Amino acid sequence: MSAARRAFVIMPFGKKKLADGTEVDCDDVYRRLIQPAIGAAGLVAHRADADRRGGSIHLDMFQDLLLSEFVVADLTMDNPNVWYEIGVRHALRSGGTVMTYAARDRLPFDIAGQRMQRYTLKEGKLDPDRLEQERTALGEAIVATLGAWRGRRASPVYQTIPSLQEPDWKTLKVGDVNEFWDALDAWRRRVDIARRNQRPGDILVLADETPNSLLEFEALRTAADALLKMNRPRYALRILEEARKLDPDDVKAIQIEGMALGRVERYAEARDVLTTLAARHKDGETLSLFARTWKDEWTQVWNTHPQRQEDPAAAARDTASTLHNAAAAYHDAFRAVPGEYYPGINALTLGRLWEHVTGTASKLPLERIAAGVGWTASVAVERDKDYWSLATRAEMALVEGRQKEALADYADAAALAVANRDRFALDSSSQQLDFLGTLGFQAEIVGEAARIIDRAEKQLDALVGGRKPAQVEPHRVVVFSGHMIDDPEVRGPGKEKPARFPPEKIDAAAKAIRQRLDKIGAAAGDLGMCGGASGGDLLFAEACLERGMRMEVRLARREEEFLAESVTFADPDRRWEESFEQVKENKATTMLVMPQELGPAPAGVSVHDRCNRWMLYSALSMGLRKTYFVTLWIGEPGDGPGGTQHMVELVRKLTGRRPEIIDPKTL
């Protein structure tokens, strides 16, 4: 859940006098008119420190005026700070501002044409007969302005100077420390940890929890980029859909969308997106991504050619025109930005491959391309030795048949990818080497390079898996959510709450869970996932481990807190405590603690709601078709947020499917 969107209020504080001497309680106007109107519009009102002195402009105020997605200004009084701040806002942002006033016949000429919402004062107090109507009108004005905000240049500064562009907020950070950037930096670190641990489900949860609405777009774009680099393009597209509602014109977001569309083989859409972008933004990266869609399409048509398996070279010759289109598109991108080695190396490699499969000399200037790539890649390695510059220099040496240099650079690049947990980089090189090897291009060098990359991928698998050996993706993933065992102190006949899952139903519930696992076909090597609470969760974990499945137990709280709240609260014979320990210590179990993996839950977010999303997103990131859902549920609302009902609703919302439901009342 994203943080609430914030509206910054510009107005005087305390009691101030009008020009005629009438005293107005500005704080009362804020509490009873402005703040409720902002709340009704779905925003959270925020005022700066009331102790701000004239002439002393706090750093936070500048950042509020820059970053707040909405500003409401009360111009009832000729207060110097108010006029100064509305001027700053009009200079920094082209829209997202509503002005209100009372007790004036007219406003100054410079802002007279702006959107205004008038309210009424009687003897310095809000008019009780008009207050509700005027509060509603102000809220409606805010909603209308929000709806018309994008592209609407409401600021008189931006209206007067049509060519003026809003500043990039990232370049205008004021001061050394600020809560907005601190929150974004902490959130980014969590996303990077999730990427390094290869846990896309973690990123999907974090994408629901962007640190504040002011930086929501930046956070969502970061999440989409991370998911794409983890080879989860469908989820990247889902996140981008939300990001582009906030800023449909951001170049980087459109580039990520183009890459993601290509990764899910929607090549026509990818080219359309990137062609439209290139028409207004002819940078090398956009043109390179456009070329990538041609490369991906050639890979697809080659792989699906009828002769692909028995004679891959013949299949490549039949699809050589698409391969040439890809090489030519990369050449166009390299000409646009000759200092960028990425389009150049692809133009060179695909051009030489085209010559290899057709036996014909290419009309592309491959010698000049090679000279350019060699220079730019070498400079890049000297300036900043990263994976991509090393891999490019390695591929350059491969194309030219320089085996020793190629293998040395591939080894250095692979070591960096492992250190940075960068599976996307290794996947990229692996895919390139795969089709080069299949077509017999520089076969000896390609074979050795592929083995280097393969060893690095296995090493990365071992690192991500911690002390446990890397495991293959399961054929089935079964997510469970269910009632805890009833606490006899509060549930049952004559108690505060009716029985839900009484102890006498334990054996029958365990049998029903096993039957559902049989029905699904869950077997050794498959993955079970649950929350670890007494009752349904632990019965499910026991059943999964019995049949040789792997288990992920995801705790909503730190272990000691979770045990007290969800395991030992009704456990006189320590049955559940012992079960928890046995499940935890089983070699097939991975126990993940949510606050350690994701950080603390945002204010107002139930940890149990969050844990449900964490489990479900993590399971779905392995593939919807292999994911199954089992619940132990009486079909009624729970005691609070994040219970079994929430999981059932979440499954239906995200998948359209109905879980396997075990009703304790029928056992």
Strands 97-101 and 116-118 turn out to be: parallel
CA-to-CA distance for 473 and 396, rounded, in angstroms? 34
Please give the residue that has the higher pLDDT: either 330 or 180. 330
Question: Under DSSP, is residue 529 helix (H, G, I), strand (E, B) or coil?
Answer: strand
Q: How far is CA 665 from the centre of its chain?
A: 40
What pLDDT is stored for residue 152 in this prediction?
Answer: 61
**Which CATH number covers residue 589?**
3.40.50.450
- For the ranges 174-188, 227-241, 606-620, the lowest mean pLDDT is seen at 174-188
**Which CATH number covers residue 114?**
3.40.50
DSSP 8-state secondary structure symbol assigned to residue 244:
H
What pLDDT is stored for residue 38 in this prediction?
Answer: 92
What pLDDT is stored for residue 50 in this prediction?
Answer: 43
Closest alpha carbon to 322 in 307, 340, 304, 337: 304
What pLDDT is stored for residue 470 in this prediction?
Answer: 44
Token pair recorded at residue 309: 């398996």
pLDDT for residue 193 is more than 80: yes
Structural domain includes residue 10: yes
What pLDDT is stored for residue 593 in this prediction?
Answer: 97
Structural domain includes residue 159: yes
Task: Enter the pTM of the model.
Answer: 0.73
Tally of structural domains, the chain: 2
pLDDT for residue 2 is more than 60: no
pLDDT for residue 158 is more than 70: yes
pLDDT for residue 424 is more than 90: no
CA-to-CA distance for 607 and 429, rounded, in angstroms? 40
Structural domain includes residue 180: no
Question: Under DSSP, is residue 37 helix (H, G, I), strand (E, B) or coil?
Answer: helix
What pLDDT is stored for residue 55 in this prediction?
Answer: 42
Taking residues 576-588, what's their average pLDDT? 96
Residue-range definition of the domain harbouring residue 102 = 6-163
pLDDT for residue 539 is more than 60: yes
pLDDT above 90 covers a percentage of the chain that reads: 55
Identify whether the C-beta of residue 49 lies closer than 8 Å to the C-beta of residue 14: no
Split at pLDDT 50, 70, 90, the class of 663 is very high
Identify whether the C-beta of residue 361 lies closer than 8 Å to the C-beta of residue 322: no
Structural domain includes residue 195: no
pLDDT for residue 588 is more than 90: yes
Question: Under DSSP, is residue 630 helix (H, G, I), strand (E, B) or coil?
Answer: strand
* Domain end marker among 114, 137, 163: 163
The identity of residue 362, as a single letter, is S
pLDDT for residue 177 is more than 80: no
CA dihedral (314, 316, 321, 324) in degrees, to 10, reads: -140
pLDDT for residue 601 is more than 80: yes
Taking residues 100-112, what's their average pLDDT? 75
The identity of residue 193, as a single letter, is I
What pLDDT is stored for residue 51 in this prediction?
Answer: 42
**Which H or E run includes 366?**
helix 366-383
pLDDT single digits (tens) 82-95: 989 889 888 888 87
Identify whether the C-beta of residue 142 lies closer than 8 Å to the C-beta of residue 98: yes
Structural domain includes residue 255: no
DSSP 8-state secondary structure symbol assigned to residue 505:
G
Split at pLDDT 50, 70, 90, the class of 161 is confident
* Domain end marker among 128, 163, 198: 163
Structural domain includes residue 280: no
CA-to-CA distance for 487 and 564, rounded, in angstroms? 13
DSSP 318-346: HTHHHHHHHHHHHHHHHHH-TT-HHHHHH
CA-to-CA distance for 358 and 237, rounded, in angstroms? 37
What pLDDT is stored for residue 54 in this prediction?
Answer: 46
Structural domain includes residue 268: no
Token pair recorded at residue 22: 């009438």
The identity of residue 170, as a single letter, is K
- For the ranges 384-388, 438-442, 550-554, 575-579, the lowest mean pLDDT is seen at 384-388
Question: Under DSSP, is residue 470 helix (H, G, I), strand (E, B) or coil?
Answer: coil
Closest alpha carbon to 60 in 180, 217, 212: 180
CB neighbours of 74 closer than 8 A, spacing ≥ 6? 9, 10, 11, 12, 26, 29, 34, 82, 99, 100, 101
Strands 589-593 and 550-555 turn out to be: parallel
Split at pLDDT 50, 70, 90, the class of 46 is confident
Please give the residue that has the higher pLDDT: either 276 or 582. 582
Split at pLDDT 50, 70, 90, the class of 466 is very low
Token pair recorded at residue 295: 């490369």
Closest alpha carbon to 29 in 142, 131, 136: 131
Taking residues 6-11, what's their average pLDDT? 89
What pLDDT is stored for residue 639 in this prediction?
Answer: 67
* Domain end marker among 163, 178, 199: 163
DSSP 189-234: HHHHHHHHTT-HHHHHHHHTT-S-GGGHHHHHHHHHHHHHHTT-HH
**CA angle 259–265–267, rounded 5-degree value:** 70
Structural domain includes residue 505: yes
Taking residues 169-177, what's their average pLDDT? 60
Q: How far is CA 206 from the centre of its chain?
A: 6
Phi, then psi, of 518 in degrees rounded to 5:
-60, -45
pLDDT single digits (tens) 254-312: 999 998 998 888 888 988 998 888 888 777 788 888 888 889 889 989 999 999 999 99
Please give the residue that has the higher pLDDT: either 279 or 200. 200
**Mean pLDDT estimate for the chain:** 88
Q: In three state form, how does the secondary structure of 553-608 look?
A: EEECCCHHHHHHHHCCCCCCCCHHHHHHHHHHHCCCEEEEEHHHHHCCCCCCCCHH
pLDDT above 70 covers a percentage of the chain that reads: 91
What pLDDT is stored for residue 281 in this prediction?
Answer: 76
